[in-house]
Amino acid sequence: MRSRPVRTVLFMTGLTVLAKALGLARSLLFSAAYGATEEAAAFLAALSVPLTLFDLLLSAAVPGCFIPYYRETEDETEAGRFAAGFFTVTVSVCTLLSAAGVLFGDPLIPLAAPGLSGTGRALASGPVRILFLSLPFIGGTAVLSALCQAKGNYLLPAGVSVLSNLLLSVWLAFFDRGNVTLLSVLFLASWGLQLLTVLLPFLGQPVPKPSFRLNGRMKEAFSSFLPVTLGAWLLPAGAFLGARFSSALDPAGNVRFDCAYQIFLLTGGILVFSLSQYLFPKLAGKGEQPSALLETGVLSALALTLPAGFLLSALSGEVVSVLYRHGAFTPADAEASAAILRLLALFLPFFALNELLSKAFYAAKKPLIPLFASLSGVGTVLVLSALAKEPPFTGAALGAGLTVSSGVLLLSLGKLPSPPGKRTAYGALLLLALSFPLLPAAEKLREVTGTVPAAAGIPENLLTLAVTAIPLLLLYACLLLPAVLLPTRRKAAKKSDHNRGESD
């Protein structure tokens, strides 16, 4: 019988897969309807401005500042006041940012997509104002999701975007008529739906009054706001810079980069986010064993992301063509996106390390280390993206930034109160040795089919994916199983011998 933590993570993963699958469906339907046209580039630029602003300022700061301090508050009444105050301040800040964006959003559009023409910028003007109105909804959803996780309710935050992504997918499939302004209104409604969804567990419960009073706990939480915020800049800033420099190299470059990045983020999200969201409150709680939890989390994430990254890189052409090469998204668009994904996918394990290790430092209330790691990564992405002469290298630049950031975090593990031991490093090397051969093996197997992904149909590409990925993953699993079971059996045997000795 599976333990409760395993069941919880499996359920979270299932909801995450469903939410990400619907998000991918939304992205696919958008690409099929708009392709890599000026309308698509304008809408994605308008969408990226408020979302990047929220990600840079609040996305990580909300759970990073809220969960550790909420978990430490033993008095239930005081914890409720802390949550109400945190919610009030966060939504108020988002409302101010929303108002500023509605008034002054236009000058930000060229920052997101410098390759847009004057017509494209005019197309993005209305949508960017509408989409800025979503920030209070997004901020409120983030705080309530963090509250659910702090209370041990992990499933609702994992599936909070299911209904909203379903709404947008249905609209794009059956009702969209190429009006990006109306589509922006639907995106705004979808974020309102997310807030209503995460409110469900709190209906009928006594709600503390909204408050702006910064008591001791609130001051302590917000004192970590700046380092936690800057410490989470890498992924949103890296994606923003990748899209921006891709647009500078190619007018439709931000659309093609976004397609590759969405596949990368979907894969990483399914394999890592559920594990990260489950471990973070545990690492921040009392009576836990952080070194054992972190070791399990890191090795589990690497066991999943190493083979996934190598196979996704080798089969990037087939994956992009199956998912995106429909409607207005042309074979040339698919080839360009696949070239970016081919390089970016290799860095998927560093995405996992960055996500898990940052959470460990936040849980230990050491936000300055992720801050330095993140800024090092962002600087790497900025320099390499600026030097890139071809769009595919913007994907490599983002991957290099993840690598540098992960390296800083790994070198700083000794500063954790209870760092993972050498067994974690040995396990990671073993997983790398088992998974790396998948890359050349997949390249050889796909050559046997002789198909060109961008020119082949969906059945041919699916066949290539099946005959390449399935046998290699089965082989990897067969090699991995003894490596996992042998240490477990040795540990069980030692425990049995120890118990027998005590009884004697």
Nearest-5° Cα angle at 303, 297 to 305: 95
Specify the pLDDT at position 436.
Answer: 94
Specify the pLDDT at position 499.
Answer: 47
Q: Is the pLDDT of residue 253 over 50?
A: yes
Summarised one tens digit per residue, pLDDT across range 50-78 is: 998 898 888 877 887 888 778 777 777 77
Domain match, 321 and 259 both: yes
Domain match, 260 and 193 both: no
As a whole number, the mean pLDDT across the chain is 83
Q: Look up residue 209 and give its two tokens.
A: 């009054």
Specify the pLDDT at position 344.
Answer: 92
Q: Which alpha helices (DSSP H) does 388-457 contain, by range?
A: 392-411, 422-435, 438-449
Q: Which residue has the tokens 């739906």?
A: 193
Q: How far apart are CA 399 and CA 356, in angstroms?
A: 16
Specify the pLDDT at position 2.
Answer: 45
pLDDT tier, 498 (very low <50, low <70, confident <90, very high otherwise): very low
Q: Look up residue 62 and give its two tokens.
A: 């909300």
Which of these, 461, 440, 438, lies nearest to 449 by C-alpha position? Answer: 461
Domain match, 52 and 185 both: yes
Domain match, 301 and 157 both: no
pLDDT tier, 186 (very low <50, low <70, confident <90, very high otherwise): very high
Q: Look up residue 274 and give its two tokens.
A: 């559920």
Q: Which residue has the higher pLDDT, 318 or 80?
A: 318
Q: Is the pLDDT of residue 91 over 60?
A: yes
Summarised one tens digit per residue, pLDDT across range 385-433 is: 888 888 788 788 888 888 888 888 887 887 887 787 788 888 889 999 9
Q: Is the pLDDT of residue 147 over 50?
A: yes
Domain limit, last residue, from 202, 223, 244: 223
Q: How far apart are CA 21 and CA 124, in angstroms?
A: 27
Domain match, 343 and 362 both: yes
Full residue range of the structural domain in which residue 158 is found: 37-223
Specify the pLDDT at position 1.
Answer: 38
Query: How many C-beta neighbours within 10 Å does residue 500 have?
Result: 9
Domain match, 190 and 280 both: no
Summarised one tens digit per residue, pLDDT across range 332-359 is: 888 989 999 999 999 999 999 988 888 8
Q: Is the pLDDT of residue 215 over 80?
A: no
Summarised one tens digit per residue, pLDDT across range 434-491 is: 999 999 999 998 888 778 888 888 889 999 999 999 999 999 998 887 766 555 445 5
Query: How many C-beta neighbours within 10 Å does residue 426 have?
Result: 12
Q: How far apart are CA 13 and CA 155, in angstroms?
A: 9
Q: Are the C-beta atoms of residues 65 and 231 closer than 8 Å to each other? A: no
Specify the pLDDT at position 252.
Answer: 78
Q: Are the C-beta atoms of residues 333 and 256 closer than 8 Å to each other? A: yes
Domain limit, last residue, from 223, 244, 275: 223
Number of domains composing the chain: 2
Residue 275 within a domain: yes
Specify the pLDDT at position 208.
Answer: 56
Q: How far apart are CA 98 and CA 133, in angstroms?
A: 5
User: SS3 of 165, please?
Assistant: helix
Specify the pLDDT at position 485.
Answer: 52
Which of these, 292, 363, 266, lies nearest to 67 by C-alpha position? Answer: 363
Instruction: Give every CB contact of residue 406 below 8 A, 6+ residues apart in sequence.
Output: 350, 353, 354, 357, 373
Domain match, 327 and 302 both: yes
Which of these, 175, 460, 168, 178, lies nearest to 325 by C-alpha position? Answer: 460
Domain match, 286 and 315 both: yes
Domain match, 327 and 462 both: yes
The DSSP element (H or E) to which 139 belongs, if any, is: helix 135-150
Strand ranges inside 292-361, DSSP E: none
Q: Is the pLDDT of residue 162 over 50?
A: yes
Q: Is the pLDDT of residue 492 over 60?
A: no
Query: How many C-beta neighbours within 10 Å does residue 20 have?
Result: 21
Residue 75 within a domain: yes
Domain limit, last residue, from 203, 223, 243: 223
Domain match, 200 and 251 both: no
Q: Is the pLDDT of residue 503 over 60?
A: no
Residue 11 within a domain: no
